[in-house]
Amino acid sequence: MPLFADAAGALHAVFTERRAELRRHPGEISFPGGRREPQDPDLLATALRETHEEIGLPPDRVELLGALQPTPTFVTNYAIYPFVGLIEAGFAWVVAEAEVGRVLELPLAALRAGHSRPRLVRRGLPFRTDAYDVDGHRVWGATARIVADLLDRVDETAAAG
């Protein structure tokens, strides 16, 4: 989870919006990441490699701040191990066009303000879930649970700048 502070000091999180044509999770908003490969010595290396592959952020441009709690996914039955890193503002993203539609930089204050528990329907089943709506973008599912964990740990005044 790349974070950066804008000129006013407000924290922003960097997300990816998956391409609409993808078979799995089309158009959904997530953090850069993916599966561990045999060459990855640990999950941090996986996160840094995947972030570099998906949005062009070199590992040496990330200052590791820590890790959040592992987050399960219900549909794919994975566990996501989120790492949080500080980066410089203004990075020129280079997206992996095969999977990333675009990069979103969303202010933590706007995420916090956009929290709701809407009723969604997936595969014909209605359910309520945490979601964050910012500028027409909806963050929900495992990504929303990761955001909630982060927001629980970040002081509101620090997030606002």
Q: What would the mean pLDDT of 7-12 be, rounded to a whole number?
A: 95
pLDDT, tens digit (0-9, with 9 covering 90-100), for 35-78:
999 999 999 999 999 999 999 999 999 999 999 999 988 777 78
pLDDT of 9 > 80? The answer is: yes
Q: Which two tokens stand for residue 95?
A: 């997206």
Instruction: Return the CATH class of domain 2-160.
Output: alpha beta
CA distance 5 to 61: 14
Domain map of the chain by residue range? 2-160
Higher-pLDDT residue of 156, 28: 28
- What is the per-residue pLDDT across 116-160, written as a single tens digit (0 to 9) for each? 999 888 778 888 889 999 999 999 989 999 999 999 998 766 666
Residue 143 DSSP code: H
